[in-house]
Amino acid sequence: MKQSRIAALLLALSAAVLWGASRMTWITVGTFDDKSGDATNAIIGGLWSTEQTAVAMLLLAGSIAGFALRRVGRRVVGIISALAGIGASWAPLGLLTGEPDPRRVHQLLSTGDEAKISAWAEIANLSVNNAGPALAMLGAAVALFGGVLLAVRPGTDSAALNRYERKQDREAKISRDLVAEPDSGRVMWDALDADIDPTDANRP
């Protein structure tokens, strides 16, 4: 299998891994409210790091483009995907190496249409569930590897496509020559050889 196809499949895999990680619980939060008492809430990856879902969609699109685009396009997609993988790693890396910000946790749980705690509730304790961020880091690493592979080894365009483009270029050149030198025997023979009617006034 071509390396460019392997890279495109890796981008699809990374998209699936990141999306799955974004659905998992990253932080478990214990809160206390003087009216409702103690409560435990979960913050999923997609809420803590909203870019996870967006990057997953971008990588899925990059995977499709890796199969559909030509060589230069695949290289550009590879670079963008690699950068997206790096960007997707910051939030989970921060949780794995540090502590979540209690103020941000409170804001996420107390605002929006689906607020889970009141504005006066207190954060009693926080715990990071490492599985979600670790899976996100794995997805980001796969995206980085797949993106770099696609950028460095974009493959070659198909022979059929290249032949078609050469034929189109040749026909365009002959059409220009017929306009510039309509009485040239060489140009007429070239036109006939390319299946172009040199007497057709409506040719492109």
Q: Is the pLDDT of residue 161 over 50?
A: no
Q: Which domain holds residue 176?
A: 160-193
Average pLDDT over residues 20-32: 94
Task: Tell me, yes or no, whether 203 lies in a domain.
Answer: no
Cα 141 to the chain's mean position, in Å? 13
- Are 94 and 26 in contact, with CB atoms under 8 Å apart? no
Q: Which residues contact 28 (CB under 8 A, 6 or more apart)?
A: 40, 41, 42, 43, 126, 127, 129
Task: Tell me, yes or no, whether 23 lies in a domain.
Answer: yes
Q: Give the chain's domain count.
A: 2
Q: Could you tell me the CATH number of the domain that includes residue 108? A: 1.20.140
Task: Tell me, yes or no, whether 202 lies in a domain.
Answer: no
Task: Tell me, yes or no, whether 33 lies in a domain.
Answer: yes
Same domain, 82 and 168: no
Task: Tell me, yes or no, whether 189 lies in a domain.
Answer: yes
**Model pLDDT for residues 8-24, shown as the tens digit of each residue:** 999 999 999 999 999 99
Q: Is the pLDDT of residue 178 over 70?
A: no
Same domain, 168 and 153: no
Same domain, 69 and 142: yes
Q: Is the pLDDT of residue 163 over 50?
A: yes
